[in-house]
A and B are shown apart, each in its own frame.
Chain A
Amino acid sequence: MEQPSAVVLLGAQRFDPNLQAASESLHADGRIGLITAGWQERESEDEELVSHLGGNTINLRLHERGEQIFAGDPELRAAHRERQDLLRHTQDFYRIRLEHLREAERIIAQRTAPSGIHIEEGRTSVEAIRELDIRHLANCARLHVAFELRWGLGKRPSVLRHRAEIAEAVGGCSVIAIAGGHVASLINRLALFGIGSLVGGKVVLAWSGGAMAVSDRVVLFHDDPPQGPGVSEVLDAGLGLVPGVVLLPHPEQRLQLNDRQRVHRLVNRFLPARCLALPARSHLTFRDGKFSSIEGVLELRLDGENVPFRSAS
């Protein structure tokens, strides 16, 4: 699959946007294909966004197209619902296991024992969580493959027509801009319309949830949710356009960066991937396997600290 010529990643845009500056710096001479499927029913409310992007845009309307497909293809709609239900159960059960593993880790860490055992058991705790994450991703992938094999989206007329229209629209674009929003909804639509196979040679400009969706693994996180201590959880695979990183937008609201233990656990869990926090106004570009044009991005480190992300590799 041909890779994008560059992927530009930005932090949250809601209160302190840098999208316009990032867009202008691309010097794109073609149209910008816009994906706001993460906004769900508000997908078409893109006036402000269009103005930030300079006006020459076409919204690919992935959410609306999905709704049209399901309205006209009840069989696929039922199958899609069933698959989503399975994914939801898979996520629930994964979360239950994850919370119990975290609890076991906490209890073991509190026990008095020789330090050698503690180190070994700590390692075991992390490995158990890593294995669970990997298995969860595999379970999700299995469900996606089974769905594709059973329903053949690439050959199904109701889907084909929209995919063709999208391919034509994208063909005339030099940039694909992917907004954030509901990240599960977004990756669902990106997969439904095979967007990953359409971005080759183009610049992908993605921010917040959109940035998460173009990485190879979407991690949901919130250190202080209202229902109790938050445990980050893997949701599903992303488009994989920016491999080897876990992208964490909204760190100002969602991460307790001064809690070194939490930061350490997060980083250790996802090694060798690097955990990058994307605060508002942050920016980085991924091109030819390297990062450049880095501004404001924080790398979370194994020692629990966070530092400006500088590495170009």
Chain B
Amino acid sequence: MSAVLAIDELLASAPDAARVTAFLSGRKVPIVEGSIITFCWLGHADAVSLRHWIYGLESATALSRVSNTDLWYLKLDIPSYSRVEYKYTVHRGGASEWIEDPLNPNRARDPFGANSVLQAEGYEAPAWTRRDPSVREGLLEPHVFNSASLGQRNGTLYLPARFRRTRQYPLLVVHDGSDYLNYASMKVILDNLIHRLEIPDLIVAFTDSPDRLNEYANDPLHARFITEELAPDLATHFPLIDRPQARCLMGASFGAVAAFSTAVRYPDFWGRLLLQSGSFAFTDIGTRNRRGPLFDKVVAFVNGYREMPRAVSERVFMSCGVYESLIYENRSLLPLLSATGMEVRLVEARDGHNWENWRDRLREGLSWLFPGPLSFIYE
């Protein structure tokens, strides 16, 4: 790595349009030079700023223009192994628009669209998140369930590639299931991890909610739907292992609250929990968290649990990005859960509150909660 940053060399060279073209030609952008990241944007604008979701840094940071050119740049010190989603805000003629980085092909999709992705030094998307043509694919099939608690619910069921009715399987219920499938590659990951023997063959119920902010915030009807209706119905139709150790609830953000609060309402039924970037807002004084009224029910639930913590499951895997504000709540929850006698693991990552962060933690989480036959198989 050169001691002088590429952008500084350019700045020292009396840059003009031709030099900028040469500078960008064939260069991967943002420019990663050790921990120094140089963001670049090329075009006419009155001002350009970087929008990112790293908690602790200014969420909008202005880029500087290289004199006599249309190149805008910003240098940031970002640790190795980081993964940062971002956009640019481009200001022109009194108007502003958020755009993805046209110089960077890396994108992450989510329910709101897409973001550009900075992959800092050392980060690359894990191989097990990509489709492997040699891996036998499991089956996804639509699943309609008429819930007495919540009305008709549409979901998707995953059956492993070697599904046999004569075998018995663990059950994994996923909140925000469509998003996990669409934005966290979960079908591919299940196929890959099963193929690698890192998790056992599983039956997975991907569920969705049309009103997740209410239903996922410690709603008794939701917990009843999942535990008293969906799980028994699946057990009627599929060969499921009837033990808490073989039942797992998972979710991210509010979905993690839904998973945990359901387990709290039905202790010892869900023996495994996978909670990603859980929105476990709480207060140490008063009842209103800084996050606003949407979180009021969550705060009441988490405060109640903090007052009377108890073991409700056997193993709890938590993950959270260190660039999200929820790292505080998740770190706070770890000793509380551990003290109850539950086995708890919190994995932190240099990432934010997004689906690819949750995707990248699935291997460690699922294989810890449901170790596959890898340690048993010696061909």
Is A220 on the interface with B (CB-CB < 8 A)? yes
Decide if A264 is an interface residue (CB 8 Å cutoff). no
- Residues of B contacting A74 in the complex (Cβ-Cβ under 8 angstroms): none
A212 touches B367 (CB 8 A): no
Q: Is A227 an interface residue (CB 8 A)?
A: yes
Interface string of B345-379 (1 = CB under 8 A from A): 10000000000000000011001100101111111
In Å, the complex CA distance between A226 and B372 comes to 10
Do B368 and A227 have beta carbons less than 8 Å apart?
A: yes
By the criterion CB–CB under 8 Å, are B377 and A182 in contact?
yes
CB within 8 Å for A222 and B379 given contacts A41-B164, A227-B368, A228-B368: no
CB distance A226 to B367 under 8 Å?
yes
Interface of chain B residues 124 through 173 with chain A (CB within 8 A) = 162, 164, 166
A12 and B364 contact, CB distance less than 8 A: no
* B379:A13 contact, CB within 8 angstroms: yes
Knowing A41-B164, A227-B364 touch, does A180 contact B376 (C-beta < 8 A)? Answer: no
**Residues of the B chain whose Cβ atoms lie less than 8 Å from the Cβ of A27:** none
- Residues A212 and B164 in contact in the complex (CB < 8 Å), given A226-B367, A227-B364: no
Q: Is the CB of A209 within 8 A of B363?
A: no
Asked if B376 and A12 make an inter-chain contact with CB atoms under 8 angstroms apart, the answer reads no
Tell yes or no: B101 within 8 A of A by CB. Answer: no
The one of B198, B245, B378 that contacts A209, using a Cβ cutoff of 8 Å: B378
Question: Could you say which of A13, A41, A96, A184 contacts B376, with CB atoms under 8 Å apart?
Answer: A184
Question: How many Å from the CB of B90 to the closest CB on chain A?
Answer: 42
* Complex contacts, A226 vs chain B, CB 8 Å: 193, 196, 198, 363-364, 367, 374
Q: Are A222 and B164 within 8 A (Cβ)? A: no
B196, B345, B363, B378: most-surrounded residue (chain A CB, <10 A): B378
Question: A225 touching B379 by the CB < 8 A rule?
Answer: no
Evaluate whether A180 and B379 lie within 8 angstroms (CB atoms) in the complex, with A41-B164, A222-B374, A225-B374 already known: yes
Point out the residue from B166, B193, B371, B379 that lies within 8 Å of A181, measured CB to CB.
Answer: B379
Contact yes or no, B377 A225, CB < 8 A: no
Whether the pair B375, A221 counts as a contact (CB closer than 8 A) is: yes
Question: A208 on the interface (CB 8 Å rule)?
Answer: yes
Measured CB to CB, the closest approach of chain B to A162, in angstroms, equals 19
Q: Tell me the smallest distance from the CB of A85 to a CB of chain B, in Å.
A: 8
Asked if B378 and A222 sit within 8 Å, CB to CB, the answer is no
Please classify the interface of chain A as helix (H, G, I), strand (E, B), loop, or mixed, using the class held by over half of its residues.
Answer: mixed
With a cutoff of 8 Å between Cβ atoms, the chain B residues found around residue A228 in the complex are 345, 364, 368
- A250 / chain B contacts, CB cutoff of 8 Å: 378
Residue among A85, A96, A209, A226 having the largest count of chain B Cβ atoms under 10 Å? A226
> What is the CA–CA distance of A180 and B373 in the complex, to the nearest angstrom?
13
Contact yes or no, A227 B371, CB < 8 A = yes
* Interface size counted on chain B using CB atoms at 8 A: 22
Q: Which residue of B lies closest to A89 (CB)?
A: B245
Instruction: Tell me whether A225 and B375 are in contact (CB under 8 A).
Output: yes
A185 to B373, CA, bound (A): 11
Among A8-23, those with CB < 8 Å from B are 12-14
Q: Which A residues are in CB contact (< 8 Å) with B374?
A: 222, 225-226
Instruction: Point out the residues of chain B lying under 8 angstroms from A221, CB to CB.
Output: 375
Distance in Å: Cβ of B312 to nearest Cβ of chain A:
18
Do A12 and B368 touch across chains, with their CB atoms under 8 A apart?
A: no
Most-contacted residue by chain A among B245, B363, B373, B375 (CB, 10 A): B375
A220 touches B379 (CB 8 A): no
Q: How far is the CA of A221 from the CA of B378 in the complex (A)?
A: 10
Complex: A222 Cα to B197 Cα, angstroms: 13
Shortest distance from the beta carbon of A93 to any chain B beta carbon, whole Å: 12
Q: With the chains together, A96 CA to B343 CA distance in Å?
A: 10
Which one of B198, B245, B378 contacts A249 once the chains associate, using CB atoms below 8 Å? Answer: B378
Chain A positions 234 through 253: 1 when the CB is less than 8 Å from some CB of chain B, otherwise 0: 01000000000000011000
Flag whether A263 is at the interface (Cβ < 8 A): no
Instruction: Tell me the complex Cα distance, A221–B198, Å.
Output: 14
Residues in A with CB closer than 8 Å to B368 are: 227-228
Does A208 lie within 8 Å of B364, measured CB to CB? no
Taken together as a complex, chains A and B put the C-alpha atoms of A250 and B374 apart, in Å, by 12
Residue A183 at the chain B interface, CB threshold 8 Å: yes
Complex: chain A residue closest to B168, CB-CB: A81
User: Is A183 within 8 A of B364, CB to CB?
Assistant: no
Q: List 25 A-B contacts (CB under 8 A).
A: A12-B379, A38-B377, A67-B166, A92-B245, A180-B379, A181-B379, A183-B376, A183-B377, A183-B378, A185-B376, A208-B379, A209-B377, A209-B378, A220-B375, A225-B371, A225-B375, A226-B196, A226-B363, A226-B367, A227-B364, A227-B367, A227-B368, A228-B345, A228-B364, A235-B376
Residues of A within 8 A of B (CB): 12-14, 38, 41, 67, 85, 92, 96, 180-185, 208-209, 212, 220-222, 225-228, 230, 233, 235, 249-250
Closest 4 CB pairs between A and B?
A209-B378, A227-B368, A227-B367, A226-B367
Sample of 8 further A-B pairs with CB below 8 A, known A96-B343, A228-B368: A92-B245, A183-B377, A184-B376, A208-B378, A209-B378, A226-B363, A228-B345, A250-B378
